[in-house]
Structure 1
Amino acid sequence: MSVGAARHVCNTYYTTTLNPIVQHHVDSYNDFVERRIPVFLKASNPINLVLGDDRAIRIYLGGKDGKALGYRPPIDSLDAALMPNTCRVENKTYYLDCIGDMEVEYQIGPDVETAKFEKVLLARMPLMLRSKFCHLSALTPPEAYDQGEDYNELGGYFVVDGGERVLLTQERLGNNIYYSSRRKVVSASADEEQEGGTTEGRGEEYEYIAGLRSVSEDGTRGPYSHFLVIPPAKREVSLAEIELLKGTQKEIKDYGLTRIRGMPVITLPGFSIPVPILSVFHLLGLTTDKDLYDVILAGIPAADRSVYDDLFLQFVLGHKPEKSDMETLKVATKTRSEEEVFFNLQAMLLPHVEADASDDTGTLFRRKAYCLGYLFRICMDVALGIKNPSDRDHFRFKRFDVSGDLCFQEFKRIYKAVAKDMKLMMDTRIHYEERVYAGKGITTLLQRENLGYYWRPYTFNNEFSKSFKSTWGGKNGISQILNRFSTLGTVSILRRSNLQMDPSVKALGARRLHGSSFGLTCPSDVPDGRDVGMKKHLSLLAIVSTQTPSADLKKIVAAHPGFRRVSDVHPSVWNPSWTRVVINGDIYGLLEDKTSVVYTKLIEYRRSHPGFISVAWNRTDNELVLSSDAGRPSRPVYRPGITADEVLSKKTWTDMNALFDYVDADEADTIRLSMTPLSKTLPSEIHGVFMLSPLSAVIPFADHNPSPRVAFSCAQSRAGASWYHSNFNKRFDTITLILNSPKRPICETWLYPHILGRGGCLPYGDNVIVAISTYGGYNQEDSVILNADAMKRGMFGTTYFHSYNITEEMINETAKTHTEFANPVTKGLKLKADKDYSKLDENGFIRMGSDVDENTVLVGIISGTNDVSEVPKRGQRGRVDGMQFYDMAVGFGKEKTVLRGVKIRIAEMRTPILGDKFSSRAGQKGTVGMILPESDMPFTAKGLRPDLILNPHAIPSRMTTGQMLESMSARIGVTLGTMIDATPFSVQNQAGEYRELLTKLGLEPNGSEIMYNGMTGEQMQMEIFIGPTYYLRSKLMVEDKINYRDTGAKTLLTHQPLEGRSAGGGLRIGEMERDALIAHGVSGFIEESFMLRSDESEAQYQPATGLLDTTGEGPVENLRMPYAMNLFVKELEA
């Protein structure tokens, strides 16, 4: 029953949920638009320009509360809806307009005059497909199909200048999370070791670290890094070393004399250098050592405090600043003022600790002192060996930045730049036109007609477009082109996350599979090589939380009679039995008793309210940790006592959510989870398949294959030819591939009909009869033998598409001259040599259905009196399959010029040839080693001939038992006329059951057959395992890799052939290739490669000296050598 319930959960989730695969992207983007932008504008208002003569201008965007906002999806010049496919074809951006009120206050002495402009365009930014304001959200699948979209359009990505872009989910260290660590510090004595000696065990000391990145709940302050360091223990130093450190930059960099004394320092926002943490505590109000001791060790029983005494005493006695604490911190500020010190402590120190309406500065400082003391305490725990350093690879420390979070980061950056420019332009105008804007004249500065000059909304669109095409926030790899080679490739990149770390760093812990990722990211769908562990994929039911305001959580906790706010508790009376309540990193208060009552209320609140809240009661540390921030990966588990009948009775995912609790890694660590579904007393897992990613979950019997094969199968699935889009004939993707007659697999998992389109309508392979045999040896070393007649019947036939985007280009913007589409033949121009112009129409465009090769002119283009017509890439063959014309505007207003563009799609039919790559879903890859006619293929007594022959060595070497089960079960499915359930972790003893079924059906129980040699007709002397298996054809084809060259262009510097297939370059022959050719005795070929077809040259040299002769004096002789050698010798002699 539990398996049936789990399958019902799967079907319900994917059939009754909007955008289940990209829900995390869509929810995040909707939250960014509907909540984050208004909150940010309210917190950032007003844009304040102080003029210095008792006048000021204050500008409020979106009204004073930031809520006077609206959004308008894209429209065209006729005010009709601009659809995504139109943007793709016409190289436009699918955008969203943010429209709101702009209120302006003019402060003139004591008087204030106001002006209000309604429905002002505030920003234009890319719009995510399938988000709330997307046109597609209101369309049914057939209506979306009519608009050029896929019948099963996923969404979750952007269309920017005609290209599909996706923002890769970024895995990072979470905000407002305390962590501790330690690192080695090499002392000066280690640098004095002699060369060749070893420093192991000498000169190494540890410094201990605690820190967090703090950000306010509305996102307007932070994230600010707080970095506490306890340096190595006090050590003897030489006078020379002290003099070296005094007053130098090294003092600042290495914490100078403070580090030598072994005193703790902390890096805080607003301070240019690390400052003594005890000085910070003193300015927060902890003026006595007793208060400081109690705050740092709050919650530690008196009997356990003695272990801290020596270290604390060392810090207190060693804190002897030459200046007062205030003077010490003033030196580290820009203005060196007390005002800036207090501003930094109030506004920038721990901004996630936010003041309530009733809090004064003293109360806020007490709350921050407790949080800072907790940070200090966990650092001391590591220094004293009481606790291990934090495991920052644990998922409780991680947060995922999805599309909405990344867009918000970019929006904040652009907003600050646009606001700064607005203030500068207003100040400049007032300064240079003083008479016009004197006194009350400033009230005429902003008019509706010139608002676009001061506040420039199109800067948002331009900057977003730049970020999508290059670096996002200065980081590479965040914005990526959406993979459209296959449906699974598209799904994969939309579910992928990337760890923000240099892949070349040898951080083993970050790359290893961590137990806390169970159910959140897939353990199998990971790349190999340098990216292993860097790129992960979300599990099937995993979601990423959006931010939920913490106000309601605080109300529930504060309503408990035993609750005390931490600011109301003096550290000397803090009882260790009280439970610390931490809300998003803020130590909010204490529960004196009955924590379980509050815990139960919080769980009930979470179940009855939307949003994903984590309630983690850590009984070991006596903490109740509540998290409502964005970016936490969570997953559903059954609530205790749920039955299979209850699950099966729910028909929608909304109703079914009443049976689940969503837990993140932090909460999962504090509860007992039953691995047996539907436990009566414990929360329980739903099914093992839900820990996998979409790609791993469609692999049949994946639980019977080794993990490297599962990972490899995921990579092969991404590269497999398929029906990548149900509306592919309306698209103009640069390069893509279609499998002409794909089949739905006989063996499939629960997820196949949901991941590969509704009902599995986008298959990605073919059901072929596979025999496992050597059969002549042409399938050794991973090769396979294919049936030529089966290919004639359409097996693995593909259509290769290549689209060309050709536009008219500006020559001179001042003169408004540009290239033009025209037929050069009718214009009487001098034509390009060896190019075919015969297939152009009178307007210069190639005719639909024309056959094309690399010399065929696609579009006639003239530039003045020159022919600059466009031809295909080298090696292009095929037929013109589609054309799309569009216009594009360059410039604005009277300077606008309309240029024409055309997209041409060329289709090429391809059948498998020797060297093409194939793979099964178990990761059994291989290239074509031989293609045999069907008459030469082996056959059974009933005349069954295989379509593909696999080498037997592939099975024991790769241990893909899952493929054997697939073949056996597929024979049962073919015989009975039914699909086979191959979902991992679903059935026990599958091989035994299949053997019994095969026997009952009159087949050999092991799936083998006696076969006969197709060439001789003789019976083969062994049983051969044969059965249907689902095989994929890879996009890696020989025709795309063939490269050849006799003569051609060469580089100017070395006179050697160009590099690269597209540039007509040659193949590199290095030392190893040279040695292999020498071993084969082909010296003539070597001379041809290194001389005749490359950079042969002749140089003169002086026999007496052996030097190249450049003077022409004395006896010389001629010498043949490569020009690169000639150049190298000259450089050495120079």
Structure 2
Amino acid sequence: MFQVKRFSFAGASSENDGRVMTVLQDVFLANVEVCQDNFRPKCIYVAVMLRRIMDAILNKDAMDDKDYVGNKRIELSGQLISLLFEDLFKTMIAEVKKAVDNILTKPSRSSRFDFAQCIIKDSITHGLERTLSTGNFNIKRFKMDSKGMTQVLARLSFIGCLGHMTRIKPQFEKTRKVSGPRALQPSQWGMLCPCDTPEGEPCGLIKNLALMTHVTTDEEESPLISLCYCLGVEGLEVLSGEELHTPYSFLVLFNGNILGKHRKPQHFAAAMRKLRRAGKIGEFVSVFVNEKQHCVYIASDGGRVCRPLVIADKGISRVKEHHMLELKAGVRTFDDFLSDGLIEYLDVNEENNSLIALYEEEATTETTHIEIEPLTLLGVIAGLIPYPHHNQSPRNTYQCAMGKQAMGNIAYNQLHRMDSLLYLLVYPQRPLLTTKTIELVGYDKLGAGQNATVAVMSYSGYDIEDAIVMNKASLDRGFGRCIHMKRYCAVNQKYDNNTQDRILRPNRDGFDSGPMRVLDDDGLAAPGEIIRRNDILINKQVPIVTRGQFKSALHDSEFKSVPQRYDGPQGESCVVDKVALCSDKHNNLCFKFLIRHTRRPEVGDKFSSRHGQKGVCGTIVQQEDFPFSERGICPDLIMNPHGFPSRMTVGKMIELLGGKAGVSCGRFHYGSAFGEPGGHADKVEAISETLVRMGFSYDGKDFIYSGITGCPLQAYIFMGPIYYQKLKHMVLDKMHARGSGPRVSLTRQPTEGKARNGGLRVGEMERDCLIAYGASMLLYERLMISSDPFEVQVCRVCGLLGYYNHKLKTGICSSCKNGDNISTMKLPYACKLLIQELQSMNIVPRLKLAEA
């Protein structure tokens, strides 16, 4: 039940009138202030709203697009936490006030009143911690209730971590199948990356910031409002109806509030921009003149996305050669460019008022701005792809998803970390064909891949459907070798009755000494020891009684042994890398073990190039059988040529050419997005010239000898280095089979999943295949005999299930109360369960039996 509080207002003729006035004043259009009961600004605001509605009905072009990026605001973590803190703080004050009121209303108080006693300790801390740990964001005052607001930063790869920090998550359910919010918006240009979005359900909803995007924060409004009035904005109070509707006077809106009208809107906008470029007002204030709506929009609120552009006067860039020389010498910084009015930040709306040239050569006299660099159109992850503008667009999106799963270095302190799961490449390299983004984000220092010499040819038949043939000698030298680190934890728990766990010395001889061989004398696994599955990590004992009266000393018989075992892959030998001791927040002693496993590539491990060309290792071939070039170069891997035609990843071919030229002449070549006119991407002609100069064919093809026959092959083979990434999906983690094993107690069917040693499910589609094939007995065996067979007693008269009486050695029907017409039959247990559940709902399924 909610109690409605009655407000009392002085001067109101009746209570209802007063309440209506309050609603109009404080609730209706709360953003428009009412000063001294002057409702005129609110009336004008409503009139403008009605006019917009009528305009939208009469003219479909005037409709606002809710997916337009200029209409969106991004909430940053700081804003959300400040909102949460404000709510927790005000809730705490309300509770304190209530507690104080309760104490002070008591007529007789024996103790001295202490205000500090009423403050609930740590309530704000617990509220913040709860939100950060669960992700449930509750604001009681506004009834905001959103889930999944916090995410754990993924540290599987350096670039995945960096990409996670630029992610934008919508407040939109991803289950709804709508195309509008998922479509690529034209207004996204330069602000949000067009490539980097996940596949599947959240496709197009989760976006990522582009390379130079800035998200604004709130600025103080009052100085800007007074500045607008100084620059000739006339308040609506002083204007007559005729003056309001003169054709050239524009409405001025500031952060959604109407300030007034201006007679010369373009002049006003130019003055505001001049002040912004001079640094007199904030650099993120945007001024946008909307000719269709006869409005000037000024925005200084937080959450808008904006990006820097070079200012051009009549098509001539303000940034000159000497500025760039000062920048290279370190005399000038990016902020100096901003303060000197050479560069400015534009948001999506203001971009509509400007004409932006992609390259300086393309600028005309109407051009107002020039792009700093076209490669900043893409985000951090898409910036790793060389020549992305030569690829089919979905391939770049696939690479954005796979770049996060590539193994490599994650940080400079990676060997001192204790992550729950860590994948490291043993010999990561920087790509031979690099891009400007790679150097800007530091991927060349913390790479996630290796430059492999690739031959594009058919070989062995184990390379169909994107499978890769690998050279055994390359794997022996360390190609694709990785380290898998996993952390295991144990806690030395303290209990209420003054008892605690204990750790014992290992038993060196005896029947259970085998699993304890890795333990040190302190009962913990020793670093450097080789550990196998089911070996004991910590020899721990737990008191049997942990509640009740206090105990001082416990006898050995009052403990039970609960050793923690290592549950790694069968038959693999891993190493205890590190053992760390620390204390948790309840002051219990905590043990952490880091187990290291070095893995070399095997058949079934997943690899991918930087162009969305993923494939598994199909077979590993001895180097003697591998083809080789006339220079004696043997490829590391062989890729099937059928991966190119339908995928149209021309960027991969240019990467091979550029890498080959780079190796032969000793210079890193570049392949930045749209970089050919600006000199940030090498042209194919220039690469071919280098190749010819170094004695190769201009098209990257080589004369190849067969490793099996020793004769030259009948065709020239396209061969050169391509940067390949090893992905985290490895056969060792996925491989799973089962003969018999655990079952679910409810349905008596086998469990599901590798972790629970589950069965392999024959689903509906597999069942359809077996029916079409006519393999009825196989189907009967798979669906019942191997799953959940159950023997039931069925009454032939009433068709209900009975039971078996072991004393009388006969089946009895519960409803007929006799055992004359009972038949025994086999049934899946899940079917018997369904029949009984339906009976509990008063639905009676009856079984009609026929003679077999």
Give TM class, smaller chain.
Answer: 0.7 to 0.9
| Letter paired with 1:617 | V
Tell whether 2:450 aligns with 1:766. Answer: yes
Q: Secondary structure at the match of 1:484?
A: coil
Alignment CA distance shift 1:566-1:747 (3 Å): same
Alignment CA distance shift 1:928-1:763 (3 Å): same
Q: Which residue of 1 aligns with 2:555?
A: none
* Residues in 1 aligned to 2:325 and 2:65: alpha-carbon distance in whole angstroms: 40
| Letter paired with 2:725 | L
Cα shift at 1:1087: 6.3
Q: Which residue of 2 aligns with 1:319?
A: none
* Residues in 1 aligned to 2:771 and 2:526: alpha-carbon distance in whole angstroms: 51
Tell whether 2:135 aligns with 1:446. Answer: no
Q: Secondary structure at the match of 1:530?
A: coil
Structure 1 contact 411–460 (Cα < 8 Å) conserved: no
1:361 equivalent among 20, 34, 37: 37
2:388 equivalent among 683, 694, 702: 702
| Letter paired with 1:936 | D
Q: Which residue of 1 aligns with 2:9?
A: none
Cα shift at 1:860: 2.5
Alignment map for 1:603-752 (pairs within 5 Å): 603-605=274-276, 607-608=278-279, 609-640=281-312, 641-645=317-321, 646-650=323-327, 651-657=332-338, 658=340, 659-677=342-360, 679=363, 681-752=367-438
Cα shift at 1:377: 1.3
Alignment CA distance shift 1:1129-1:639 (3 Å): same
Alignment CA distance shift 1:607-1:792 (3 Å): farther
Q: Which residue of 1 aligns with 2:55?
A: 381
2:825 equivalent among 1119, 1123, 1134: 1119
- What is the TM-score when the length of structure 1 is the normalising length? 0.65
- What is the TM-score when the length of structure 2 is the normalising length? 0.85
Q: Which residue of 2 aligns with 1:278?
A: none
* Residues in 2 aligned to 1:428 and 1:346: alpha-carbon distance in whole angstroms: 34
Tell whether 2:529 aligns with 1:850. Answer: yes
Deviations 1:328-375 (A, max 9, x none): xx9xxxxx63333333333333333346xxx5331xx22222222211
Q: Which residue of 1 aligns with 2:627?
A: 938
* Residues in 2 aligned to 1:1075 and 1:632: alpha-carbon distance in whole angstroms: 53
Cα shift at 1:1107: 5.4
* Residues in 2 aligned to 1:867 and 1:1073: alpha-carbon distance in whole angstroms: 46
Cα shift at 1:416: 2.5
* Residues in 2 aligned to 1:1117 and 1:594: alpha-carbon distance in whole angstroms: 93
Alignment map for 1:115-126 (pairs within 5 Å): none
Q: Which residue of 2 aligns with 1:802?
A: 486
Which has the higher mean CA deviation after the structures are superposed, 541-550 or 1036-1045? 1036-1045
Structure 2 contact 611–651 (Cα < 8 Å) conserved: yes
* Residues in 2 aligned to 1:821 and 1:923: alpha-carbon distance in whole angstroms: 53
Q: Which residue of 1 aligns with 2:552?
A: none
Q: Secondary structure at the match of 2:825?
A: strand
* Residues in 2 aligned to 1:923 and 1:386: alpha-carbon distance in whole angstroms: 41
Q: Which residue of 2 aligns with 1:394?
A: 68
Tell whether 2:146 aligns with 1:460. Answer: no
Cα shift at 1:408: 1.9
Structure 2 contact 581–590 (Cα < 8 Å) conserved: yes
Q: Secondary structure at the match of 2:128?
A: helix
Alignment map for 1:137-286 (pairs within 5 Å): none
* Residues in 2 aligned to 1:519 and 1:796: alpha-carbon distance in whole angstroms: 36
Cα shift at 1:542: 0.4
Structure 1 residue runs without a partner (length 5+): 1-269, 273-325, 331-335, 891-897
* Residues in 2 aligned to 1:601 and 1:271: alpha-carbon distance in whole angstroms: 47
Tell whether 2:469 aligns with 1:788. Answer: no
Q: Secondary structure at the match of 2:346?
A: strand
Q: Secondary structure at the match of 2:473?
A: helix
Q: Secondary structure at the match of 1:958?
A: coil
Q: Secondary structure at the match of 1:957?
A: coil
* Residues in 2 aligned to 1:1043 and 1:430: alpha-carbon distance in whole angstroms: 69
Q: Secondary structure at the match of 1:1036?
A: coil
* Residues in 2 aligned to 1:789 and 1:1035: alpha-carbon distance in whole angstroms: 22
* Residues in 1 aligned to 2:292 and 2:790: alpha-carbon distance in whole angstroms: 80
Structure 2 contact 265–296 (Cα < 8 Å) conserved: no
Q: Which residue of 1 aligns with 2:606?
A: 917
Q: Secondary structure at the match of 1:456?
A: coil
Structure 2 contact 234–262 (Cα < 8 Å) conserved: yes
1:863 equivalent among 518, 539, 542: 542
Alignment CA distance shift 1:564-1:434 (3 Å): farther
Tell whether 2:568 aligns with 1:899. Answer: no
* Residues in 1 aligned to 2:157 and 2:618: alpha-carbon distance in whole angstroms: 25
* Residues in 2 aligned to 1:824 and 1:340: alpha-carbon distance in whole angstroms: 78
Q: Which residue of 1 aligns with 2:684?
A: 991
Alignment CA distance shift 1:732-1:1080 (3 Å): farther
| Letter paired with 2:353 | T
* Residues in 2 aligned to 1:417 and 1:804: alpha-carbon distance in whole angstroms: 40
Alignment CA distance shift 1:1065-1:429 (3 Å): farther
Alignment CA distance shift 1:842-1:466 (3 Å): farther
Alignment CA distance shift 1:613-1:1116 (3 Å): same
1:1032 equivalent among 725, 747, 760: 725
Cα shift at 1:1108: 4.2
Q: Which residue of 2 aligns with 1:873?
A: 567
Structure 1 contact 565–589 (Cα < 8 Å) conserved: yes
Q: Secondary structure at the match of 1:421?
A: helix
Alignment CA distance shift 1:1014-1:549 (3 Å): same
2:669 equivalent among 980, 1001, 1006: 980
Q: Which residue of 2 aligns with 1:775?
A: 459
Alignment CA distance shift 1:594-1:690 (3 Å): closer
| Letter paired with 2:150 | S
Q: Secondary structure at the match of 2:74?
A: strand
Alignment CA distance shift 1:431-1:902 (3 Å): farther
| Letter paired with 2:659 | A
* Residues in 2 aligned to 1:1120 and 1:821: alpha-carbon distance in whole angstroms: 52
Tell whether 2:88 aligns with 1:414. Answer: yes
Cα shift at 1:683: 1.3
Tell whether 2:600 aligns with 1:929. Answer: no
Structure 1 contact 522–692 (Cα < 8 Å) conserved: yes
* Residues in 1 aligned to 2:486 and 2:769: alpha-carbon distance in whole angstroms: 37
Structure 1 contact 938–1011 (Cα < 8 Å) conserved: yes
| Letter paired with 1:733 | D
Alignment CA distance shift 1:788-1:1055 (3 Å): same
Which has the higher mean CA deviation after the structures are superposed, 870-879 or 911-920? 870-879
Alignment CA distance shift 1:1031-1:595 (3 Å): closer
* Residues in 2 aligned to 1:433 and 1:779: alpha-carbon distance in whole angstroms: 90
Q: Secondary structure at the match of 1:799?
A: strand
Q: Which residue of 1 aligns with 2:239?
A: 569
Deviations 1:603-629 (A, max 9, x none): 323541444111112233332211000
Larger helix proportion of the pair: 1
Q: Which residue of 1 aligns with 2:807?
A: none
| Letter paired with 1:686 | I
Structure 2 contact 250–265 (Cα < 8 Å) conserved: no
Alignment CA distance shift 1:946-1:881 (3 Å): same
Structure 1 contact 418–456 (Cα < 8 Å) conserved: no
* Residues in 2 aligned to 1:387 and 1:979: alpha-carbon distance in whole angstroms: 50
* Residues in 1 aligned to 2:404 and 2:283: alpha-carbon distance in whole angstroms: 33
Alignment CA distance shift 1:611-1:743 (3 Å): same
Structure 2 contact 576–594 (Cα < 8 Å) conserved: yes
Q: Secondary structure at the match of 2:184?
A: coil
Structure 1 contact 835–855 (Cα < 8 Å) conserved: no
Q: Secondary structure at the match of 2:234?
A: strand
* Residues in 2 aligned to 1:827 and 1:875: alpha-carbon distance in whole angstroms: 25
* Residues in 2 aligned to 1:810 and 1:463: alpha-carbon distance in whole angstroms: 27
Q: Which residue of 2 aligns with 1:838?
A: 517
